[in-house]
Chain A
Amino acid sequence: GENVEQHPSTLSVQEGDSAVIKCTYSDSASNYFPWYKQELGKRPQLIIDIRSNVGEKKDQRIAVTLNKTAKHFSLHITETQPEDSAVYFCAASKGAGTYKYIFGTGTRLKVLA
């Protein structure tokens, strides 16, 4: 079946450095790719998303890139801050217009002060 692989499972960076999280999806019909941030004890919250007709999207210190040919997409966080520490989940829509996601298994990011 369809799946989304996410790497790494844990990532530690020094404050001010960049962090990159990568996801690979299997369903070629997927056309929407959101990223969620989950702080400890909190609910997942959308931080950025990208559609399949766009290769890159940026919002201040975060950006997402999409390579449809290779079926992978990545989250980039620049100038990391301690408040960026959280678990990040990628997701891919399960086919086009199905309104369902398949989530990656999460990356625990630790930003060291």
Chain B
Amino acid sequence: QKEVEQNSGPLSVPEGAIASLNCTYSDRGSQSFFWYRQYSGKSPELIMSIYSNGDKEDGRFTAQLNKASQYVSLLIRDSQPSDSATYLCAVNKVGAAGNKLTFGGGTRVLVKP
């Protein structure tokens, strides 16, 4: 079992619809969870962080965390073609030094006009 798992996609979403991305993790004691966006050939950039169970909203993005079920999700509302990218789920495991993150393989999202 991978430490952080994501469906590789591609997830095809019509413009204006909601894109729903899921991520599961194996380390039950993990405390911090993050979503990074990576455009093709570019560097990852942090778009959301979540630390406690429930929802966290930031603009068109909503992160959801359920520690009991060990999953974290990302919703992108009103999807735009510019949202087409790979979304990486990352976890800061218990005992990890500093900001050492464990990443999932990423979900590729394609938003079609």
A, B bound: no
